[in-house]
């Protein structure tokens, strides 16, 4: 243990964020960094407790607490404190393929389960992880390591989001020849187009993909399997297939006035904004440009926050974020004890920026959309909402009730639907005749589908979830695929 009683000596400290109003002028990452000495102190706060819940990855009340990957957190915290960089990042990479991604965008269920958090602020686990991997890249430790020999087996990975990339990296490490197919114009999937640049700079993705190319992985972009390339050819051209196509079917809003201009799915809006940033030839269509508009975001999760931050950078006149759930409490409640993931009030970067620009939090809680109003020409002009309340029915389920007389009209020139996803797109699953569950996710046993040699991982398999869980499933699916290939 590097620093006995360090958690009693040092307070939790995160790197400062750039000034909210200044960062609205660009699309650069919002977080700065701590000095090495300050980050060492944060690593020293790790208690090295006898039972480290931080890396447990257990499910409590249907929610994962602790790291799903089983990261060796106390070990590399200690190594960071001692400045044993190479050993520290080696321990980190034993369990996770892409810590530079999770160190930026993971909601850190590990920190929610940190034993230190019972009585004081938790250890800055995510930031310590990011420091280790970024130091490794900066010092040249992260070099390509192609396998010393190839097995002669060929594997196709469909989808290049976190699950697909993790599966490809592990399969390549096992010595198989891997080709990744991506329907979009760039590699990265959700990481590339679902998460804005201010949270995850796309150069970070390109840096990792270039390393994977040097290790022998082939990437093919602009090819949609099942449309541009028959799905059946994968079964004949490759010894195994790993499907990691995500959960790309967005949840829609079934209210009068939904059809027509001005109402967009968040994923389409965020994708276009990033494409325009990376490649100026992708001009932002007028209906996807928030400049000078009253923007309503329907949905209170991370994607909703990303829509708020994007609309602000495009120069919106106003942005409001509607959430159907109640406002979380400031602290844990008796119904949400440690080590469960803390369901507490958090003000994320998008809301902080909106508060700085407009003087108030854009979020409105317990609001349900009733109707989208349009003028005689069909142009969007407002949405109508009701206040609601939640109550428990006789069967124990929560029910939503509309409060009489609570109708409100919000001026709107753009409505962004950020209500999550319902499941994977149908084309590929139907082409391969894959078994699916009630939520339309692809069913599998130990990641193998009902089709021999076809495996599935990530949101396509388990439904919309965290980047860290997608990486975990990609790694585990790769191990299952490897075991299958060894027996061919």
Alpha helices, H only, 139-244: 162-173, 202-214, 232-237
Alpha helices, H only, 377-449: 426-431
Please name the fold of domain 252-419: FAD/NAD(P)-binding domain (3.50.50)
Please name the fold of domain 6-138: Fumarate Reductase Iron-sulfur Protein; Chain B, domain 2 (1.10.1060)
On the question of pLDDT at 488 being above 70, the answer is: yes
Q: What integer pLDDT is reported at residue 2 of this predicted model?
A: 65
**H or E element at residue 105:** helix 99-105
Its pTM surpasses 0.85: yes
Considering the chain, what is the average pLDDT of its residues? 96
pLDDT in tens, 141-198: 999 999 999 999 999 999 999 999 999 999 999 999 999 999 999 999 999 999 999 9
Q: How far is CA 362 from CA 131, 284, 300, 370, 418, in A?
A: 32, 24, 10, 19, 15
pLDDT in tens, 342-396: 999 999 999 999 999 999 999 999 999 999 999 999 999 999 999 999 998 888 8
Separation of first and last alpha carbons in the chain: 46
Q: What integer pLDDT is reported at residue 242 of this predicted model?
A: 98
Number of H helices, E strands in the chain: 17, 18
Percentage of the chain modeled with pLDDT above 90: 93
**Is the fold of 154-249+422-486 the same as that of 252-419?**
yes
**Domain ranges, ordered by start, for the chain:** 6-138, 154-249+422-486, 252-419
Q: Which CATH number fits domain 154-249+422-486: 3.40.367.20, 3.30.2350.10, 3.50.50.60, 3.40.50.720?
A: 3.50.50.60
**SS3 breakdown of the chain: % helix, strand, coil, rounded to 5?**
35, 20, 45
Q: Are 78 and 46 in contact (CB under 8 A)?
A: yes
Q: What integer pLDDT is reported at residue 271 of this predicted model?
A: 96
């Amino acid at each position: 243990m590097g620093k006995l009683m360090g958690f009693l000596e040092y307070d939790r400290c995160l790197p400062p964020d750039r000034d909210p109003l200044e960062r609205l002028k660009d699309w650069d990452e919002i977080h700065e960094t701590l000095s090495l000495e300050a980050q060492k102190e944060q690593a020293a706060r790790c208690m090295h407790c006898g039972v480290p819940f931080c890396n447990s990855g257990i499910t409590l009340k249907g929610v994962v607490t602790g790291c799903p990957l089983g990261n060796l957190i106390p070990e590399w915290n200690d190594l960071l404190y001692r400045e044993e960089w190479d050993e520290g990042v080696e321990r980190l990479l034993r369990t996770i393929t892409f810590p530079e991604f999770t160190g930026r965008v993971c909601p850190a269920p590990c920190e929610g389960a940190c034993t230190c958090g019972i009585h004081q602020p938790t250890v800055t686990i995510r930031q310590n992880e990011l420091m280790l991997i970024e130091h490794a890249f900066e010092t040249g430790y992260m070099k390509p390591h192609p396998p010393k020999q190839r097995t002669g087996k060929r594997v196709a990975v469909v989808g290049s989001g976190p699950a697909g990339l993790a599966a490809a990296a592990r399969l390549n490490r096992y010595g198989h020849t891997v080709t990744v197919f991506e329907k979009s114009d760039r590699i990265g999937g959700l990481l590339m187009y679902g998460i804005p640049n201010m949270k995850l700079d796309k150069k970070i993705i390109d840096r990792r993909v270039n390393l994977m190319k040097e290790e022998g992985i082939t990437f093919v972009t602009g090819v949609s399997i099942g449309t541009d390339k028959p799905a059946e050819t994968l079964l004949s051209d490759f010894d195994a297939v790993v499907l990691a196509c995500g959960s790309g079917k967005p949840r829609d809003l079934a209210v009068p006035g939904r059809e027509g201009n001005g109402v967009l799915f968040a994923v389409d809006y965020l994708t276009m904004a990033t494409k325009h940033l990376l490649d100026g030839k992708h001009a932002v269509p007028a209906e996807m440009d928030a400049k000078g508009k009253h923007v309503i975001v329907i949905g209170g999760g991370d994607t909703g926050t990303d829509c708020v931050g994007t609309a602000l950078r495009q120069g919106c006149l106003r942005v409001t974020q509607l959430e159907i759930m109640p406002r979380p409490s400031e602290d844990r409640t008796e119904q949400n004890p440690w080590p469960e993931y803390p369901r507490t009030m958090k003000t994320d970067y998008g809301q902080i920026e909106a508060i700085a620009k407009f003087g108030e939090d854009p979020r409105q809680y317990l609001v349900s959309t009733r109707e989208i109003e349009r003028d005689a020409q069909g142009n969007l002009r407002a949405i109508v909402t009701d206040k609601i309340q939640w109550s428990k029915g006789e069967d124990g389920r929560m029910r939503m009730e509309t409060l009489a007389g609570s109708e409100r009209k919000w001026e709107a020139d753009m409505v962004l639907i950020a209500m999550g996803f319902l499941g994977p797109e149908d084309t590929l699953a139907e082409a391969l005749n894959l078994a699916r569950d009630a939520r339309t996710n692809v069913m599998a046993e130990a990641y193998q589908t009902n089709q021999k040699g076809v495996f599935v991982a990530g949101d396509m398999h388990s439904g919309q979830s965290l980047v860290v869980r997608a990486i975990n499933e990609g790694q585990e699916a790769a191990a299952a695929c490897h075991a299958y290939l060894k027996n061919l």
